[in-house]
Chains A and B, each alone.
Chain A
Amino acid sequence: MLDNQTPLVEMRNISISFGGIHAVDNASVDLYPGEVVALLGHNGAGKSTLIKILSGAYKRDGGEILINGEPAEIGNPRDAKKYGIETIYQTLAVADNVDAAANLYLGRELRTPWGTLDDVAMEAKAREVMGRLNPNFRRFKEPVKALSGGQRQSVAIARAILFNARILIMDEPTAALGPQETAQVGELIKQLKREGIGIFLISHDIHDVFDLADRVSVMKNGQVVGHARTEDVTKDEVLGMIILGKVPAKAVPGPGAMQMA
């Protein structure tokens, strides 16, 4: 990436522990505008925990977060949203029983001058945004649970970009999807990237994200093994980082790198 630019996000020396277990231990990652960084690691490697600190779901025990080079205080999901950080969760965090427009605006509803919900305006905007993401989407009046996995995912993504997210966190964005839907989400990521949005992709499956990412950061046992540009490393080398913590020559080692004799 452009090294002279200020990173959009910089997480420095982040630590958090739950009941004495260091879920994340002295981890640092960064993200530049228009860049896709894949955060890889096994289940339990600490990648989801690290990113939940950025999205405000967890409070860190130590370390600092810089947004555009300035220290940011993120204590809850509302704080994160103020900094333009939007998260699409692994578990498809949508409220199943309300419709697409209600989900898009959940927590930030449009209101009429009388303070009532402006459902019509919200539906209009929802139709516009969904039309851009998924032109075949027609089911605006139905609860989200009636939709397919891909449609629900597009609702979740639309929800994030609707509020001009600058930093997008996608936790296993394609885990619940079929092959065509996965390809569609891939297209979407490229489109968002062109708009200058920085994206963290979190996955335990390297094949999901390798082709989409500009850089990879690998975590193991709560520590960062290392960072690498995807053009400099092969999938096998990254697998070595994930499984063994072995850092290839062209990658930058982190605190969790395997100590070579």
Chain B
Amino acid sequence: MADTINSVHLNVARGANENPVRRFFRATEIDTRLLGMIGALLIIWVSFQISTGGLFLTPRNLWNLTVQTSSVAVMATGMVLVIVTRNIDLSVGSVLGFCGMVMGVAQAQILPQYLGLGHPAIWALTLLIGLVTGAAIGALHGLIIAFLGVPSFIVTLGGLLVWRGATWFVTSGQTVAPMDPTFRLMGGGTEGSIGATASWIVGLVACLAIIWALLHARRQRKRFGFPRRPVWAEYVLGGVGCVMVLGFVTVANSYYWPANIARRYADANAIAWPEGGLLIPHGIAVPVLMAIAAGIIMTFISTRLRFGRYVFAIGGNPEAAELAGIKTRWVTVRIFTLMGALCAIAAAISTARLNAATNAQGELDELYTIAAAVIGGTSLAGGTGTIAGAMLGAFVMQSLQSGMVLLGIDSPLQRIVVGMVLVIAVWLDTVYRARAK
């Protein structure tokens, strides 16, 4: 009791003496950790921009970065839920490889026999087959972990070997290519981008969604008479959100088709070749849209649905969750099933991008996925983590790698740097958490 009263007094006192920066963060309720990550990302970008002599912050490089990140980012959204419940999934890279191979064989060898080559339904059926395969593998892992009591580390370590081996057996080690033309749109590239107009529409819809979400939350809190954010804070949040969305669309629309593809397109459509070249914007790439959609859906699942609430409660206190009547085992099974399905989506993106399904697809991706989640603030002790943070984590890792490639750093050294960054990021996070207490 006494400390309740004290803390109330403290809060009041704090409110009066707070410096403007502090007050700004409290009023806007911005997650300072997430902001720290964005800060780190900006530092990385600016230092690469300077050290590469202006090669890094170009629309082309940024656009490529988003495409390269999307596969790991999709898996990272699921890895957050896995790690939040104090589990780990070491098999995601191998499951990606296996699903990729299954989808490759389905669209290149099996489905064309029945539907004919290039049938418009092939991509959808292929994706469905991949999703079912991935979800089934994930469900199997989950069942073993939840009901046979084998630790997830071991089950998925076994899975890492089993599914990599199984990938080989699907085609006896042969690479499958090429992929279905429609399926390939999921890989990005000139074709797999939605163009300028559609990108602006996506951007505007996103802005409207941000404004609607802010208004809705405010109306709800007003209805029940809860404390609300100051109005200026709402404007700041809405403004920053919209500027970021529209900035992203602008960058995607400033990256134009390569000259030779544009010329071929001009010839094919009888467009006169203008002075200075035909500038056709790429717009947002399809895999990036898929990753963003995965991020939004997973955020919705983890924050708005019962299932997500249970995931976090189990991570915080498994015993309390069980005593509260939550079927913790089934929650575990569902988490791993979801993870498997996300591996299949990531596999679709990466096979489509490569235009082939290979044996080695997704090797080491488990480590990048886990690293992305952890850099993004998911605690291995369980209970904390955000989807947005994990996706940002994936983006940070990809930025580092891409920047080092631009600098011409050898790949062994790249790994050394990425490894060190992982350790340093987690150490900084530990320091931050200790302070926050």
Write the residues of chain A forming the contact surface with B, with a CB cutoff of 8 angstroms.
55, 57, 76-78, 81, 87, 89, 91, 93-98, 102, 106-109, 111, 115-117, 120-121, 123-124, 127, 134, 136-139, 143, 148, 150-151, 180-181, 184
Contact = CB atoms under 8 A, between A and B. Distances in A.
Nearest to A144: B316
A151 B8 CA distance: 13
A143 B1 CA distance: 18
Contacts of A96: 316-317, 383
B316 A184 contact: no
B96 to A, nearest CB: 30
A109 B309 contact: yes
Interface stretch (B219-227, B251-259, B353-361): B219-227
Contacts of A111: 306
Nearest to B4: A136
Interface stretch (B168-176, B230-238, B319-327, B342-350): B319-327
Contacts of B317: 93-97
B324 A91 contact: no
B315 interface: yes
B313 interface: yes
Contacts of A117: 303-306, 309
B315 A77 contact: no
13 contacts: A57-B323, A76-B325, A78-B325, A95-B320, A95-B324, A96-B316, A106-B320, A111-B306, A117-B309, A123-B224, A136-B8, A139-B7, A150-B1
A97 B383 contact: yes
B3 interface: yes
Contact of B326 (A106, A120, A181): A106
A134 B319 CA distance: 26
A180 B2 CA distance: 8
A120 B224 CA distance: 7
Interface string B376-392: 00000001100000000
A132 B304 CA distance: 28
A107 B325 contact: yes
A77 B5 CA distance: 35
A35 to B, nearest CB: 24
Given A96-B317, A138-B4, A150-B1, 6 more contacts: A89-B323, A102-B309, A117-B304, A120-B224, A136-B1, A136-B5
B219 to A, nearest CB: 10
Contacts, number: 101
A141 B384 CA distance: 15
The interface residues of chain B, by DSSP majority, are classed as helix
B312 interface: yes
Contacts of A138: 4, 8, 11
Contact of B312 (A77, A97, A109): A97
A95 B3 contact: no
A85 B322 CA distance: 16
Contacts of B320: 89, 93-95, 106
A96 B319 CA distance: 11
A117 B309 CA distance: 9
Contacts of B314: 95
A103 to B, nearest CB: 8
A209 to B, nearest CB: 20
B329 to A, nearest CB: 12
Contacts of B226: 120, 123-124, 127
Nearest to B381: A97
A106 B313 contact: yes
A150 B324 CA distance: 20
Contact of A77 (B1, B2, B11, B325): B325
A108 B325 CA distance: 9
A82 to B, nearest CB: 10
